[in-house]
Amino acid sequence: MKRVLLLVGAMLFAAAPATANDRYAERPPVVVSPDLSAPWLIQLGHNPGKVLLKKRKAFPNEVEARRNVRSLMGGPDAVGADQVRTAAVHPQEKRAVSRQMDPIYLPQEVAYDGTEKPGTIIIDTVQNFLFLVEEGGTARRYGVGTGKPGFEWAGTHKVTRKAEWPDWHPPAEMIQRERAKGRTLPTHMAGGPENPLGARALYLGSTLYRIHGTNQPWTIGQAVSSGCIRMRNEDVVELYERVGVGTKVVVM
């Protein structure tokens, strides 16, 4: 009987639930994934070997950002700090167009020993100067804007008409040409400060060309027009007062 009781007790003890301490008295082994290489694995005594990590492709703006950081730190690809700040803060900002005109294109008296008579207008489209021949071997020289590449021309005409603050009627060819560039021109623009013909216009013969003012004086001295001769408004006003209809104009 005593033996039966001992056997039953042993069976009950074996079936009794284990405590928390008993459950984790013998810990299971740590299973490590073979593609991990964090430092804590080495501390556990595992050496999974060298793992090759695939380098990701940088995002489009990331390369520039890294270059800017290296520049600020004085590293490779370094440029001026101001340039870096500008590029970082205003990446889409375009450089402002210069609004300064070279002083060489301001009106001045020069010597003239050519054969044209006083009162003749001579336009040098290479040097971008207009000369009004005067008495005594001198000429009044003005800076002008002339025809851009593909729009150069030369010839002799007379002033056939004069106009103050002229209206602008862009020719059909110009309207079509600008439309192809995505720019829409009006068929008519009334005279005024916003008009590209400026304050005065001198029409040359039966052509579409004129000597006229401009609302972009910083372009004087450059080959920028569609063939017309442009002047500063104050200069074309002066010329307008000094010449009349019938004045000879030599474009060379």
Name the residues annotated as catalytic: 212, 228
- Extract long-range pairs of 227-232: CB within 8 Å, 24+ residues apart: 227/147, 227/151, 227/152, 227/153, 228/147, 229/123, 229/130, 229/144, 229/145, 229/146, 230/144, 230/145, 230/198, 231/130, 231/142, 231/143, 231/144, 231/145, 231/198, 232/101, 232/142, 232/143
CA atoms of 112 and 223, how far apart (whole Å): 24
CA atoms of 169 and 166, how far apart (whole Å): 10
User: What residues contact 161, with CB distance under 8 A and at least 6 apart?
Assistant: 202, 203, 245
User: What residues contact 134, with CB distance under 8 A and at least 6 apart?
Assistant: 109, 112, 118, 140
Cα–chain-centroid distance for residue 144?
A: 26
Q: Are strands 200-204 and 210-212 parallel, antiparallel or unpaired?
A: antiparallel
